[in-house]
């Protein structure tokens, strides 16, 4: 594989900065080395950029593109709906069918309410939990990301050394300009430490506990055996609403998400990303007893584009495919090969690495010699080193997130994974001396 160049992308991003701030439209698209990229099209597991590079893509739009970039069935379903209606400001049969599919696939989903983005769905779930319990305080965990708004952007990417003692954490805002009082009723805790959490819940004043049931955003980490079960039990005992944020894991790690795979059912769950393969769909799904509080209209939830018909048609086509027996098996196999292959490539080069998570979404953490059990365990990750690796990898035609996550699609087959692993080995040998 020859080394690719990205000069046109770099020039375009620079020139466009006169109108589009920084040349990008999300902070997650900034700081990409050697440059943020500009794309022309996507095909299956590949993206084509304006320099003429055909890149194997593991960004997958930051998670949604689980069926790859051009799934005929999803595109045809959306096209068909484009001809008959873009937005009704009322109901369509499509949203009822989409909700029924979620209810069939997801254990907690007795009722569903669609929303515009993962961030918005999280706001609804927290508002609902507060209304139902009549309590204000919410617990979230360090390193767990639930959207970019003031109320939940706490201790998400703070350097661990600024988080204070693990038993008495200091909550840190995640953005300049953040309205600090919006976090007044948010308590942050270190994840995967059952005793501290259970003790806090016993006071009986917590409206909701929200978590990524498997941590994906900061670095592929599973709950310790028994942790989720213990939290589930104690939330039930004290009337606290347990919310799993399945924006990444939902429909991706299996048809029923992380909750099905792990065998623990929350009261509410948040879905987005893989639910509609790139179309903007998000949802709160949960127990009827909790969700039905939305029906009397006393809890405000709006959104002009909620359950937008074209997006709903795409969601149905996507979920139809993901509901088929064995739909996730190929990703399971190819993801496992990748996890093992990437781990060997670094280990054989003498570079400490921990690869964690599900085959469909895993994270590579350089520089760790011990398995982390929460965000604080990621303190020693060699982020700068990993960025050098992803930049080198891009030169070999493979696009992976600088933050360590790898997303798989049904289109990543044997040949593509073989090619990826050769690129990984080439990139590792290029940067190895800097990473040891
Ligand atoms: N929760 C989790 C777990 C996420 O990963 C994300 C997005 N990365 C969000 C919430 C926010 O979703 P959105 O970007 O659709 O607002």
Q: The dihedral of CA 386, 391, 397, 401: what is its sign?
A: positive
Q: What is the value of ipTM here, to two decimals?
A: 0.99
Q: Confirm if 122 and 152 have CB atoms less than 8 A apart.
A: yes
Mind giving me the DSSP string for 163-223? S--TTSPPP-B-STT--GGGGTTEEEE-TT-HHHHHHHHTTS-EEEEEE-SSB-TTT-BPP
In the structure, what pLDDT confidence band is assigned to residue 2 with cuts at 50, 70 and 90?
low
Q: How far is the CA of 71 from the centre of ligand 1 (A)?
A: 23
- Structural domains in the chain plus CATH codes: 7-70+328-435 (3.90.1150.10), 72-322 (3.40.640.10)
| pTM strictly above 0.90 | yes
User: Of 146, 211, 257, 401, which is best to mutate to test ligand 1, by the most ligand atoms within 8 angstroms of its C-beta?
Assistant: 146
| Among protein residues, the one whose CA lies closest to atom 10 of ligand 1 | 146
Sole residue written with tokens 């280990």: 347
Edge to edge, the sheet with strand 398-399 lists 39-43, 46-49, 54-57, 398-399
Position 1 pLDDT exceeds 60 = no
Alpha carbon of 379 to ligand 1 centroid (Å): 22
Residue-level pLDDT at 31: 85
Q: What is the pLDDT of residues 135-158, one digit of tens each?
A: 999 999 999 999 999 999 999 999
Ligand 1 pocket check for 119: Cβ under 6 Å: yes
d(CA 109, CA 115): 15
- Mean pLDDT over 182-191 rounds to 98
Q: Identify whether the C-beta of residue 117 lies closer than 8 Å to the C-beta of residue 282.
A: yes
Distance in angstroms (rounded) separating the CA atoms of residues 351 and 435: 7
Query: What integer is the mean pLDDT of 171-176?
Result: 98
Q: Which atom of ligand 1 lies closest to the CA of 212?
A: 3
Q: How far is the C-alpha of 156 from the C-alpha of 152, rounded, in Å?
A: 9
Q: Furthest-apart CA pair in the chain: how many Å? A: 63
Distance between start and end Cα atoms, the chain? 25
Q: Is the C-beta atom of 217 inside 6 A of ligand 1?
A: yes
**Percent residues over pLDDT 70 in the chain:** 100
Distance CA 142, CA 190 (A): 6
Residues 6 or more apart in contact with residue 302 via CB below 8 angstroms: none
pLDDT above 60 for 260: yes
For 278-309, write each residue's pLDDT tens digit: 999 999 999 999 999 999 999 999 999 999 99
As a whole number of Å, the CA-based R_g of the chain is 21
Looking at residue 3, its pLDDT comes to 79
pLDDT at 163 over 70: yes
269 burial type by CB count under 10 A (0-12 exposed, 13-18 middle, 19+ buried): buried
- Residue 99, pLDDT above cutoff 60: yes
CA of 288 to the centre of ligand 1 (A): 24
What rounded mean pLDDT belongs to the chain?
Answer: 97
Q: Are 55 and 47 a contacting pair, CB within 8 Å?
A: yes
* Dihedral Cα 173, 175, 181, 183, nearest 10 deg: -50
pLDDT at 134 over 80: yes
Distance between CA atoms of 241 and 138, rounded to whole angstroms? 9
């Amino acid at each position: 594989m020859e080394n690719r160049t990205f000069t046109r992308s770099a020039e375009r991003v620079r020139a466009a900065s006169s109108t589009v701030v920084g040349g990008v439209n999300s902070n997650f698209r900034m700081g990409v080395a050697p440059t943020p990229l500009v794309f022309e099209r996507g095909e299956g597991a590949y993206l084509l950029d304006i320099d003429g590079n055909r890149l194997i893509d593991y960004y997958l739009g930051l998670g949604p593109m689980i069926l790859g970039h051009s799934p005929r069935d999803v595109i045809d379903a959306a096209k068909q709906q484009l001809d008959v209606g873009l937005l009704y400001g009322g109901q369509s049969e499509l949203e009822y069918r989409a909700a029924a599919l979620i209810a069939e696939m997801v254990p907690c989903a007795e009722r569903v309410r669609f929303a515009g983005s993962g961030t918005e769905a999280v706001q609804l779930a927290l508002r609902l939990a507060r209304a139902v319990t009549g309590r204000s305080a919410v617990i979230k965990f360090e390193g767990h990301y639930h959207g970019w708004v003031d109320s939940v952007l706490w201790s998400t990417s703070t350097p661990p050394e600024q988080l204070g003692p693990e038993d008495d954490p200091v909550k840190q805002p995640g953005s300049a300009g953040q309205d600090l009082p919006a976090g007044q009723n948010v308590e942050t805790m270190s994840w995967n430490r059952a005793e501290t959490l259970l003790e806090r819940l016993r006071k009986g004043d917590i409206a909701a506990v929200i978590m990524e049931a498997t941590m994906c955003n900061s670095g592929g980490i599973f709950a310790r055996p028994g942790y989720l079960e213990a939290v589930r039990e104690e939330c039930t005992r004290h009337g606290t609403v347990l919310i799993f944020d399945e924006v990444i894991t939902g429909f991706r790690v299996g048809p029923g998400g992380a909750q099905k795979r792990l065998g623990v059912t929350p009261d509410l769950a948040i879905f987005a990303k893989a639910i509609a393969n790139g179309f903007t769909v998000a949802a709160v799904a949960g127990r009827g007893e909790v969700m039905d509080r939305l029906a009397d209209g006393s809890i405000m939830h709006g959104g002009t584009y909620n359950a937008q018909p074209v997006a709903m048609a795409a969601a149905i086509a996507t979920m139809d495919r993901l509901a088929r027996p064995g739909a996730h098996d190929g990703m399971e196999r190819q993801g496992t090969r990748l996890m093992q292959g990437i781990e060997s490539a670094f280990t054989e080069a003498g570079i400490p690495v921990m690869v964690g998570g599900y085959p469909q979404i895993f994270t590579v953490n350089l520089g760790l010699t011990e398995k982390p059990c929460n965000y604080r365990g990621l303190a020693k990750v060699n982020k700068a080193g990993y960025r050098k690796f992803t930049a080198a990898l891009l030169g070999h035609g493979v696009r992976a997130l600088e933050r360590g996550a790898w997303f798989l699609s049904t289109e990543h087959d044997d040949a593509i994974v073989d090619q990826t692993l050769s690129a990984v080995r080439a990139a590792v040998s290029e940067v190895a001396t800097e990473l040891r």
